[in-house]
Structure 1
């Protein structure tokens, strides 16, 4: 890839838009093609920076740290939807803090009096929270300012994205059929958005591999409550029973949420595989396809690091 070279990015979730921004700002002529702009799975994200059940660990650490660096800079501009927010991650079993949390500003173990009933350990730290609808709009504006273009279209194959010297595949679950990649599977996630009764800090429970998550992330006048992680389920229809459960779990920790008015439900299917795939494929027709998908629930967390690696792969001779 050289300056001015045509590059097509397929997919307009957080992975696709971030990658498109990085490539366009490098000087490539970037065209984004996606069935949904922005992608619905990314729109449903919470989103708090933090690696979430995703491999390979060495790469994830590298990608995540790069993204953290970028998000800290973006948090200086309220228009990005990124804010540095303090809060608590807690556990009902006495477990050590995750490695990624220990290096965050303000990290310290919680005093017992800071923890909700039933919790045995917890950690306080400051981390980027991303108001995803606002943030994706920011990425679209930044892409267009760099000369990038966007087309809403469903592709039957990646080859249909041409002509281009480089095609970047950021289609998430769409890669199951487009690549094809049988290792890819959905994990359904659901959040409930409610009016903010005055919360300024986040709360997240380390629930491990449970399908029932517990977290709340304040974003100004609204709070995003989570959540679910149902492995193998890709249906995006609202589940009122699950929403009631989410509200109940969150209100048990923060009683003020019990009276909050529900604004909407956000449902997405996390594109999950045994390991995130960021690699180049050199096809017989001379086109380079760079894959960037399979981020599971860590798409936002890894977005800038993965985009930088895509840029490196795309520029290799």
Structure 2
């Protein structure tokens, strides 16, 4: 089939790649491409964060985990496996997504900072999006998939010259479809120069003032925030200072780290990921959006299902 994917974030690009690998004639159209996408701002630590429903998210996360682990063997993909810990100030049960990972340990007392009583310890993929998004674009070029910029204002117009459309517009589905169930969740992060860190850390004790430390090869991404309904994309100096203070309290080596840049993005929050086929007046559409803070974590698993749904239309 001739298929057009709308949206060039990680979900759109992985969907396009899986569709091309399934033998479809694919192109991608998006208002934002590459560094201007929300995906480019992601911490991209594999973690099923603010995505629902639990059973589907666990399945998609597991598939993505396996795919990313395979990609980690090739440094050009920007994927690396890293050990890390999520920290709790009181005893915590296993996470609802436990079945998505092969192993989940508990850190010893020596591995728990002062004030923390429990935690998870596991090795997960960490994706450097500055490397992985260009890698995906390169794979698409090799597969004959054209990616072009262009605003899509209605689904009917997206059908020009194709048999089916895949809607991976994220928060843009509010305007494209009038989906009022989508909620922007503002995330602000600070990127600093590497100070010799190799392990990630996460503390969600305060859901609105997250603390996460995600090392890459040359940088460390520090976060963060989760401000529901806040669409302000300007950097807030006070918020940045708070992020730096919280992260340095966990890892003193970060105090005084050279700040490289500040980034702000909007996660596409939704009560549940929308991944389904629909037939509209012009033809079939497969929707795949509303991944919350887990776009990277769900990407390849959802892309597999997108390809299955499209193949089922022919």
**TM-score tier after normalising by the smaller chain length:** over 0.9
Counterpart for residue 173 of structure 2:
175
Please say if 1:219 is aligned against 2:216: yes
Q: Which segment drifts farther, 94-103 or 107-116?
A: 94-103
Is 2:67–2:300's contact at 8 Å kept on the other side of the alignment? yes
Counterpart for residue 288 of structure 2:
292
Question: In the TM superposition, what are the counterparts of 1:249-288 in structure 2 within 5 Å?
Answer: 249-285=246-282, 287-288=283-284
Counterpart for residue 205 of structure 2:
207
How far apart are the structure 1 equivalents of 2:31 and 2:303? 20
CA shift, 1:105, in A, is 5.4
Counterpart for residue 84 of structure 1:
81
Is 1:188–1:231's contact at 8 Å kept on the other side of the alignment? yes
- Give 1:58's match in structure 2, choosing from 42, 55, 59: 55
Is 2:54–2:96's contact at 8 Å kept on the other side of the alignment? no
How far apart are the structure 1 equivalents of 2:253 and 2:102? 27
- Give 1:237's match in structure 2, choosing from 213, 234, 238: 234
Deviation track 1:30-68 (CA, whole Å, cap 9, x = no partner) reads: 111001102521111101111112211111111111101
Deviation track 1:224-275 (CA, whole Å, cap 9, x = no partner) reads: 1111100011222212211111110000000110121001112110001110
Counterpart for residue 21 of structure 1:
17
Is 1:187–1:234's contact at 8 Å kept on the other side of the alignment? yes
Stretches of structure 2 lacking an aligned partner (at least 5 in a row): none
Counterpart for residue 132 of structure 1:
129
Structure 1 counterpart SS, 2:156 = helix
Structure 2 counterpart SS, 1:296 = coil
Paired residues in the alignment total: 311
- Scaled by the length of structure 1, what TM-score is found? 0.95
Deviation track 1:269-293 (CA, whole Å, cap 9, x = no partner) reads: 00011100001110133x1111000
Is 1:44–1:190's contact at 8 Å kept on the other side of the alignment? no
Stretches of structure 1 lacking an aligned partner (at least 5 in a row): none
CA shift, 1:124, in A, is 1.5
Deviation track 1:183-234 (CA, whole Å, cap 9, x = no partner) reads: 11100011110011110111111336x1111010110121011111000112
- Scaled by the length of structure 2, what TM-score is found? 0.95
> RMSD across aligned C-alpha pairs, in angstroms?
1.4
How far apart are the structure 1 equivalents of 2:13 and 2:249? 37
Is 2:59–2:100's contact at 8 Å kept on the other side of the alignment? no
How far apart are the structure 1 equivalents of 2:82 and 2:199? 6
Q: Which segment drifts farther, 246-255 or 88-97?
A: 88-97
Structure 2 counterpart SS, 1:96 = coil
